[in-house]
């Protein structure tokens, strides 16, 4: 049986989070890129810690690390919870790692208090989500959910030209292909910092995620005529930057008019030749547009493209809009969301239903398993930065909600949805 708790689950989770943050490349914040020595040490540390804790520790062919608490019921399907272990360059200690630390802590705690569950629970530390080393994202959860169809290991290279396969081999992984997709996941639950400012601004403890927004990315190229800034009268210009500026403002205005949860951003813009005394002849910029509903996302993008073309025509410049990424919205399971709301109410916590504008491992599970996400506030909405911070009591609140949902899913008897009360112990609220 598992080792007993000598401190509160929240304190144990904080300790684990601190320990994980020590596995980092030098520099500010936490930098733990896929298949680097610090990444390998972090996953090995988790494997050892999980094994000591009484959970069954194992890892798969891409290096996802699991802790399994085997159920005693007839259903062989698994309730999985976790997040990713990798970070961006100079990231914070909460993005991903919080969900990992909470998942392993929750299972150890449930096991120590309630013993074996009816349904098998697993905690997972996914190998990769951020896309910060190789030109691919969700290498961990994507491998589990069948996102990859082979060839990635051989073809993807990092900035130094190291292939994903070579990187895997350096971590004693087979390096051949992604893990085999799992068909035994009944539910996936992920706890994560919000990475936004909505919870903080509204003074809310818990975000119950209703959907992960779909996303479209586009590259826009505007071409006019580069000309002398002194000798070209205003009326004879084909200024690519002024045209791009009008498009950026048009995007902002129409996004504000569309209202939440639509967000639209130009994050990157470059002008050519980018010289003070030359009218820009070309500007390239990006669009990042997100919404939780596919049809509204699609309609917004189409309207933006039309507006851009109208601006280009009026200004006698050309515009080319190239799609770069298209991810469908991932609705969370409404039954699990309702359960999360009920748990918050029982626990006396403020909560709000919200769309996640950021992508998460959960979006890959949503089409195939019952999936839920829980958010806690991010101070000033900052993430992907050493400044990332959430106070311990807010992290603890998220852990409590996670434990309650896992109790519900793992220990209560099956109902029509495949889950229901298991009354051997006092119920976790």
The residue among 255 and 362 lying less far from its own copies, judged by its C-beta, is 255
Q: Locate tokens 């992290």: which residue? A: 395
**Residues lying near its own copies in the complex (CB under 8 A):** 194-198, 201, 213, 215, 217, 227-236, 239, 241-242, 244-246, 248-249, 252, 255-256, 260-271, 274-280, 286, 288, 290, 356-359, 381-384
**379 known ligand binder:** no
The residue among 360 and 408 lying less far from its own copies, judged by its C-beta, is 360
**290 known ligand binder:** yes
What phi and psi values does residue 220 have, to the nearest 5 degrees?
A: -115, 135
**Cis? peptide before 261, omega within 30° of 0:** yes
CB of 414 to its own copies, least distance (A): 36
CB of 33 to its own copies, least distance (A): 17
Q: Locate tokens 């626990």: which residue? A: 347
41: tokens are 């040490």
**192 known ligand binder:** yes
165 vs 156: CA distance, rounded Å: 8
138: tokens are 């969700």
CB of 302 to its own copies, least distance (A): 19
**18 known ligand binder:** no
**130 known ligand binder:** yes
Longest dimension (CA), the chain: 85
The residue among 101 and 193 lying less far from its own copies, judged by its C-beta, is 193
**68 known ligand binder:** no
The residue among 110 and 284 lying less far from its own copies, judged by its C-beta, is 284
CB of 103 to its own copies, least distance (A): 22
Strand pairing class (185-193; 370-376): parallel
27 vs 309: CA distance, rounded Å: 45
Residue in 181, 64, 173 with CA at minimum distance from that of residue 125? 64
**64 known ligand binder:** no
188 vs 56: CA distance, rounded Å: 18
209 vs 356: CA distance, rounded Å: 6
CB of 275 to its own copies, least distance (A): 5
Task: State the binding site for Zn(2+).
Answer: 84, 95, 130, 192, 384
Task: State the binding site.
Answer: 84, 95, 130, 192, 217, 277, 290, 384
Task: State the binding site for allantoate.
Answer: 217, 277, 290
């Amino acid at each position: 049986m598992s080792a007993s708790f000598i401190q509160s689950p929240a304190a144990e989770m904080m300790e684990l989070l601190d320990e994980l943050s020590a596995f980092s490349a030098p520099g500010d914040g936490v930098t733990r890129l896929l298949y680097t020595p610090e990444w390998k040490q972090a996953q090995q540390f988790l494997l050892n810690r999980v094994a000591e804790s009484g959970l069954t520790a194992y890892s798969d062919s891409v290096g996802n690390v699991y802790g399994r608490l085997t159920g005693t019921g007839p259903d062989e399907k698994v309730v999985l919870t976790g997040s990713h272990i990798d970070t961006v360059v100079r990231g914070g200690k909460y993005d991903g790692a919080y969900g990992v630390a909470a998942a392993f802590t929750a299972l150890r705690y449930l096991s120590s208090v309630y013993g074996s569950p009816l349904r098998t629970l697993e905690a997972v530390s996914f190998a990769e989500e951020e896309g910060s080393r190789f030109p691919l994202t969700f290498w961990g959860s994507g491998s589990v959910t069948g996102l990859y169809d082979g060839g990635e290991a051989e073809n993807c290279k990092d900035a130094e030209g190291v292939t994903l396969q070579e990187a895997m081999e350096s971590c004693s992984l087979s390096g051949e292909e992604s893990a085999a997709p799992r068909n035994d996941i009944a539910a996936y639950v992920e706890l994560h910092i919000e990475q936004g400012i909505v919870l903080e601004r509204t003074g809310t403890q818990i975000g119950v995620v209703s959907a992960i927004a779909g996303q479209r990315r586009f590259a826009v190229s505007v071409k006019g005529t580069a000309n002398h800034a002194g000798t070209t009268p205003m009326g004879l210009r084909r200024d690519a930057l002024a045209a791009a500026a009008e498009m950026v403002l048009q995007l902002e205005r129409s996004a504000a008019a569309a209202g939440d949860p639509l967000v639209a951003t130009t994050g990157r813009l470059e002008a050519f030749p980018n010289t003070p005394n030359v009218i820009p002849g070309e500007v390239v910029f990006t669009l990042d547009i997100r919404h939780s509903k596919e049809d509204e996302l699609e309609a917004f993008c189409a309207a933006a493209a039309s507006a851009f073309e109208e601006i280009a025509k009026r200004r006698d410049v050309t515009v080319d809009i190239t799609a770069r990424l298209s991810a469908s919205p991932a609705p969370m399971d409404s039954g699990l969301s309702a359960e999360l709301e009920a748990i918050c109410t029982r626990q006396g916590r403020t909560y709000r239903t919200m769309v996640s504008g950021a992508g998460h491992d959960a979006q890959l599970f949503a089409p195939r398993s019952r999936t839920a996400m829980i958010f806690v506030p991010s101070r000033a909405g900052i993430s992907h930065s050493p400044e990332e911070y959430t106070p311990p009591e807010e992290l603890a609140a998220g852990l409590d909600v996670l434990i309650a949902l896992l109790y519900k899913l793992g220990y209560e008897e099956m109902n029509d949805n495949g889950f229901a009360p298991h009354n051997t112990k006092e119920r976790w609220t």
